[in-house]
Structure 1
Amino acid sequence: MTRLAKALETTPEDLLGGGFDRPPGRGATAGQPELERLEPGECLRLIAPGGIGRVAFNGSHGPTVLPVNYTVHDGAIVFRTQHGGPMDQDLRTGLKGVEIKIGFEVDRIDEARREGWSVLVQGPAHHVTDDEAPIDADVTPWAGGERHLYIRIVPPPGHRPPHPRALGSGSGPTRPYAQPHTGHTLTVRNVAGMTKNAFKCIYIYGVFSALTLVTVAVLTIVGDTASTFMWVRAVILLAVAPLLHRLLTRAEGGSRTSLERVRTITTIMPIAIVGVDLIPGLCPPWYATMQGLSAIPLVAVAFLTRAALAERS
């Protein structure tokens, strides 16, 4: 496990899901980091799937930043809050037609590679009233409770960053705009279909790997001999399944680096699996057959990720 973590430039703890509760960004910076400014279209693509964003405003108790579930509906960011609740009150001026300008930030962090992206939208917080057309937006607050008030943020036309030099050079409207970030983001038109099929292949690979490990355990219990090599190999190959799932989830969210790592792992592993199985006397035929079958879905994932990366370039 230590060697696998080292090869993937991470730690055994992270491979096993440790440190899940800690805030990101505790590690050292990546070598030679670069700051890039994202184009408006790329910003819209990144935030379009919806998810978790952060609302920033000057509340009754001072500067306030709160996470909310959001969606993008008809070009606007939409989230829900409680009628008469603290956020509802803080985002009202008390004057008809006068709305408070707020910030809304969405980001994604790839901690293992020390990279990520951040998109900041600025615009007035509009409370959707009962007299307006109802919003058909699928957004469910994780916080639960009676949160039936929809708030919509539409960036003003032609809005520009207040400090364009800090965000990089360029001209033209910025709506929304991205904060500086390190690394790269992924643009794949068919990423949804690719990840759906790739997730299925990884699931199949995990099932074959689990069956192999269970078979080794059963044979050991009934008295047949199972070598240490068979045990270690079965455990390691099964552990790769959640790792691939985690990387593919990051790739689905826009991380090109994660997609490249999935492609590399799924290209090398089938070759290694078959190569080891061909060594005479190292493992019994049934074991080699099951491990060989588990390599087939990995080959499929390798082709899917290769096609996605080719489309990006």
Structure 2
Amino acid sequence: MNAAVRHHMSDLGRRVEARRTHLGLSREEVAERSGSTPGYIGLLEEQLPSPGIEFLVRLANALETTVQDLTGYAADIAPGAGRAGRHATMAGIDEAECRRLLDDHGVGRVAVVGDDGPEIFPVNYQVVGREVLFMTAADTPLAKAASAGATIAFEQDRVDEAFSQGWSVLLVGPAHGVSDPATARTLREAVYSTPWAGDGRDVLVVLTPHRVTGRRIRAQGAPGGAGDGDGAGTGR
């Protein structure tokens, strides 16, 4: 897409394009899922239309997301503001399901013990085999922890605001840096995205987890089967 077209994209259009690309869907496939046409999906991504709520609901379902996320309504709202679900229950998640929920890449939280005590911060991550890869700057607490071979924790979760349910996954293990040039080059090629925080984060840190655990909260009457990845983590 050229710069002139992108300049005219709305925030909604950018989110639709980004979500469609993330799912690996063509405009034709999104159109079929949402009962629309490829031309209208293109118009939605590239121009400034104002679709009605009925179509937005169909489009959100087609893109496996919510209207709130698609429109950016909840972008600056902290998750989990609703009340607890009716007759909620919490159950553990086995390691295989935890790894499935992590998927290939995303944004999670890393916890390390820094010079001033425990610190937790968001990071982009990439799953590489049984390990998790991060890219950070040389002077960060994460880089220092890796240099010392310290044990760190990594957490990822999802929140289902509508039904006050969800899941969380926790990985704990030693972190280490990557100094071998050939290994570093291979890992960089495997990374889906460079860090959202910007340039200067070229130190590779690998977490080798020795403990992988997860928990899932379900609310009575809420949708979703045992293998569903929707929802949020709490109560760890």
TM-score when normalising by structure 1: 0.45
User: Relative to total residues, which structure has the larger strand share, 1 or 2?
Assistant: 2
The 5-angstrom pairing of residues 67-216 of structure 1 reads 67-93=122-148, 99-130=149-180, 133-134=183-184, 135=187, 136-138=189-191, 139-156=193-210, 159=211, 176-182=212-218, 184=224, 187=227
CA RMSD of superposed structures (Å): 2.9
Distance 1:113 1:86, change over 3 A: same
Q: Is the 8 A contact 1:53 1:68 kept in 2?
A: yes
Q: Name structure 2 gaps, 5 residues minimum.
A: 1-51, 53-66, 232-236
Relative to structure 1, the CA distance from residue 180 to residue 84 in structure 2 (aligned partners, 3 Å threshold; closer, same or farther) is: same
AA partner of residue 177 (structure 1): T
Shift of 1:32: 0.4
The one-letter code of the counterpart of 1:31 is R
Q: Relative contact order (C-alpha < 8 Å, sep 6+): which is higher? A: 2
| Distance of 1:92 and 1:15 partners within structure 2 | 40
Q: Which residue of structure 2 aligns with residue 4 of structure 1?
A: none
The question of 1:48 aligning with 2:103 is answered yes
- Give, as a single letter, the amino acid of the residue that structure 2 aligns with 1:130: D
Identity %, equivalent residues: 35
Aligned residues: 159
Compared CA separation, residues 16 and 152, structure 1 to 2 (3 A): closer
Aligned equivalent of 1:29, options 74, 84, 88: 84
How far 1:16 moved relative to its partner? 6.8
Hey, what's the Cα distance between the residues in 2 that align with 1:103 and 1:15?
30
Structure (1 or 2) with the greater helix fraction: 1
Question: 1: distance between equivalents of 2:225 and 2:198?
Answer: 32
- TM-fit CA distance, 1:130: 2.9
8 Å contact 1:78–1:137 — kept in the other structure? no
CA distance, structure 1, for counterparts of residue 165 and residue 110 of structure 2: 23
- Taking the aligned partners of 2:95 and 2:122, their CA distance within structure 1 comes to 23
Gaps of 5+ in 1: 2-11, 94-98, 160-175, 189-253, 257-313
Provide the C-alpha distance between the structure 2 equivalents of 1:133 and 1:123, rounded to a whole number of angstroms. 20
